[in-house]
Amino acid sequence: MQNAFGEPQQVLLLGGTSEIGLAIVAAFQQTTLRRVVLACRDVAKGESKATALRRDGLDVSVVEFHGEDTASHQGLIDAIAGDIDVAIVAFGQLGDAAVTATDVAAAAELCNVDFVAAVSATIAVGNRMRQQGHGAIMVISSIAGDRVRKGNPVYGGAKAGLDGFAQGYGDAVASDGVHVMVLRPGFVHSQMTAGMEPAPFATTPEEVAQIALAGLASRRRIVWAPKVLRLVSIAFRHLPGPVWRRVPF
């Protein structure tokens, strides 16, 4: 249940070992939080992350969560005690672009995690929040989904689908007191991108977290991290197809 100032007291992180997700959890005003639930595939790794978050008065629990097991999503969400004030949908995979662009099974597997599973988990959380009459869902998308680039079409396409779904779903549940915010980070220095050449305007999980919380507090529907990517995206969106194909990424 939110406190008297409307600040969240319980946060659920789906993708409990996500660096961006954990940075967002850590960025919340710790005096308002009472409980954090980390839902992740690797429970042992989740426990190590929980240890870093725990403090006096803050309860951090870890639950096993498998994104691809969509049949388990609603049951897992419903089993969480107390109101879920904020849920962060942060799980996903980047995949190997060279593989997923040609391997049918690999492409399907990536889409199943980054789109199908994320949609399922978002709806499961939304069902719970609609019953509560309040809550916010932060869906972590990507600038890669705004205009899908040739360098990684499967990942970008999955993010584009998730991004569009989250916007439409947010409109569907708004009247029930549920706010959905789409977070579109650019290149983020993390374990997922280790060894890759940083793109322009590269950022960190901590910087993304501050931008995300500001957007959530303002009830924004779409948030770019960093903010300059909104202008970059507008420019990219209006490039003619033949020009876009020659962009080297």
For residue 98, what is the domain's CATH number? 3.40.50.720
1: in domain? no
Q: Give CA–CA dist 1/171, Å, rounded.
A: 23
129: in domain? yes
Q: What is the mean pLDDT of each run of 10 residues along the chain (249 residues)?
A: 65 96 88 89 95 83 96 97 96 94 97 98 98 97 91 95 98 97 89 69 90 95 93 85 77
167 burial level (CB within 10 Å; 0-12, 13-18, 19+): middle
Q: Give CA–CA dist 153/145, Å, rounded.
A: 9
4: in domain? no
Which domain, by its residues, includes 66?
Answer: 10-246
3: in domain? no
Report the pLDDT value the prediction gives residue 238, as an integer from 0 to 100: 82
Report the pLDDT value the prediction gives residue 86, as an integer from 0 to 100: 97
5: in domain? no
Report the pLDDT value the prediction gives residue 194, as an integer from 0 to 100: 64
Report the pLDDT value the prediction gives residue 56, as an integer from 0 to 100: 61
169 is catalytic: no
Report the pLDDT value the prediction gives residue 5, as an integer from 0 to 100: 41
Of 155, 165, 187, 224, which is the active-site residue? 155
Amino acid 143 reads I
Q: Which residues pair with 224 in a beta bridge?
A: 184
Q: How many structural domains does the chain have?
A: 1
